[in-house]
Structure 1
Amino acid sequence: MPYLKLRDGAELFYKDWGNRNGAIITFSHGWPLSSDNWENQMVYLADHGYRVIAHDRRGHGRSTQTWHGNNMDTFVDDLEELFAHLKIKDAVMIGHSHGGGEVTHYLGKHGTNRFKKAVLVGAVPPLMLKTSANAEGLDKSVFDSFRQAMHKDRAQFFLDVPSGPFFGFNRPGVQKSEGQIRSWWQQGMNTSFKSAYDSIKDFSETDFTEDLKKINIPVLVLHGDDDQIVPIEAAGLKSAKLLPQSKLKIYKGGSHAIHNINVDEVNKDLLDFIKS
């Protein structure tokens, strides 16, 4: 399994699958997961001739559990090291949830020289936190409750989230997947407590507004209108308006995890956008 030693000695785990000579697609995962959460899309696109690359964010999955650096600036600087190491160019960058924030801030901070397109899936930009200027956001008490739940019983909290709002399994008539719940729990528990805890502040309080305005490549925004984790009114709809070149698709009844639940539809939308 490939690892890259970063500037501070931490090791970043990554997957590099598919056609080594194919066009490159990168994936950034959501909180508190790992690159495993993208496996359906990675296999699908690799089968269509692409080279697909996904990392475990520091502190997550198989990467080093660092005590410090659990913030967006560090995360995207790690990515730039990985992309330089792999000589990434003319690629498509895809991110879900917290990973969508990572994509947005990477492109805002490091520019678009390596990428020709991007995709945000249920992504946290521009700002999840409710403020006087962001009335559609969520109250800080919501994120405080996440932190309290982690301190009280992280293992149970990491069962409750996927059993309910993350996949939308708490909606009437929805068929619950025990496998999806167990996979989410396993990925979450493999993430360090410190990284998962610190990242709550990172994904909820980071303002990506200026990053979105800087992105000068086409961006596909995919968001479920029943996203209970990252409400579409505070995120996808606003991001699509701020991005200079956006295309928005709303998944009717879609949960936060449309790439895990609406797999065939998301895969087709990604392939169509990448090929367009």
Structure 2
Amino acid sequence: MSMLAGKYIEVDSGVELFVQEAGSGEPIVFIPGFTFTTEVFSKQIEYFSKTNRVIVIDPRSHGRSTMSIHGNDYITHGSDLTKVLQALEVKNASLVGWSFGCLTVWEYIKQSGIDQIKSLVFIDMPPKSLSMNKDDWVEGQLDDIAAIYNTYLRNSSGQREFIKNYITQVMVQRDLEEDELTWLVEQSLKTPYYIASNLFSSGMFSDYREEAKKASQSVPTLLVVAEHWAESAVNYTRELIPDAKIEVLGGHMMFWEYSEKFNELVQSFFNEKK
């Protein structure tokens, strides 16, 4: 594996994002989901850095980036991404967003366009989180989402319980070893609960259907969705963004649990678009 180099990039007054790079070639940029960090993409860094310049980012208030009292929303995360890519002189990039990291990518596209984008990979996230339409692919029922916000994300113990349940019930399909579960929970808890609640509400009230549609018409787009909601996700995606390629694999964190299969799917998609 190529040497992983870490650096900090200032995106706002007093706010620095932690960024790691490995390899050389055409750039691939990975953005983690809600409260997670660069570390979840270790298998992707190892695989893709053999042929590409791989960049992974801790978003604002995640991991080793600055914990900021402002800008904990996906509009700001989108502009943060623009500043990081400019600072690193990234051009003709493939952007890979996981979960709420997809919102960062769509917001980047909304603000900065697609001139510097070669291809897009979205991992298991609908472009609109909530809907009154029962046939839409959504993050969950409104009452359930409200309960998470009002019950779990009000203190550290609630956040810990929520993320632990989400990891074991939605993100990973196999039974985790205790140390694996602890590591994953600790990744998330680097973001304090009072910031996590801001990010959660911002993500749940986002609507990037227009950006998803326009982007997939302009650049090659792959969507990898989890098995547990594959039917609604596939049907919804085919209707909204028919130009996108869709693959179904594992749970919400399939890129980590089934890294070999996931990496091969993505590599195959990149090869098709050359």
Q: TM-score, normalised by structure 2?
A: 0.88
1:24 matched residue in structure 2: 27
1:250 matched residue in structure 2: 248
Counterpart selection for 2:20 from 3, 6, 15: 15
Question: What are the equivalent positions in structure 2 for 1:164-243 lying under 5 Å apart?
Answer: 164-168=169-173, 174-215=174-215, 216-226=218-228, 231-232=229-230, 235=233, 237-243=235-241
Identity %: 24
- Aligned partner of residue 80 in structure 1, secondary structure: helix
- Aligned partner of residue 238 in structure 1, secondary structure: helix
- The whole-number CA distance in structure 1 between the counterparts of 2:106 and 2:232 is 16
1:45 aligns with 2:43: no
- The whole-number CA distance in structure 2 between the counterparts of 1:88 and 1:15 is 13
Gaps of 5+ in 1: 169-173
1:162 aligns with 2:158: no
Deviation for aligned residue 1:234: 5.5
1:95 matched residue in structure 2: 97
- Aligned partner of residue 77 in structure 2, secondary structure: helix
How large is the Cα RMSD of the aligned pairs?
2.0
Deviation for aligned residue 1:245: 3.0
2:3 matched residue in structure 1: none
Gaps of 5+ in 2: 1-5
Question: In 1, are the aligned partners of 2:171 and 2:254 still within 8 Å (CA)?
Answer: no
- The whole-number CA distance in structure 2 between the counterparts of 1:32 and 1:264 is 24
Q: TM-score, normalised by structure 1?
A: 0.87
1:268 matched residue in structure 2: 264
Question: What are the equivalent positions in structure 2 for 1:94-173 lying under 5 Å apart?
Answer: 94-123=96-125, 125-132=126-133, 135-137=136-138, 138-147=140-149, 148-151=151-154, 153=157, 154-168=159-173
- Aligned partner of residue 59 in structure 2, secondary structure: coil
Change (3 A) 1:56 1:112: same
Question: How many aligned residue pairs are there?
Answer: 261
- Aligned partner of residue 145 in structure 1, secondary structure: helix
- The whole-number CA distance in structure 2 between the counterparts of 1:233 and 1:142 is 21
- The whole-number CA distance in structure 2 between the counterparts of 1:236 and 1:59 is 32
- The whole-number CA distance in structure 2 between the counterparts of 1:132 and 1:244 is 19
- The whole-number CA distance in structure 2 between the counterparts of 1:185 and 1:63 is 18
Q: Report Cα offsets for 1:45-71 as digits up to 9, x if no partner.
A: 012x21100111101111111111111
- Aligned partner of residue 93 in structure 1, secondary structure: strand
1:4 matched residue in structure 2: 9
Q: What amino acid does structure 2 have at the position aligned with 1:238? A: Y
1:171 matched residue in structure 2: none
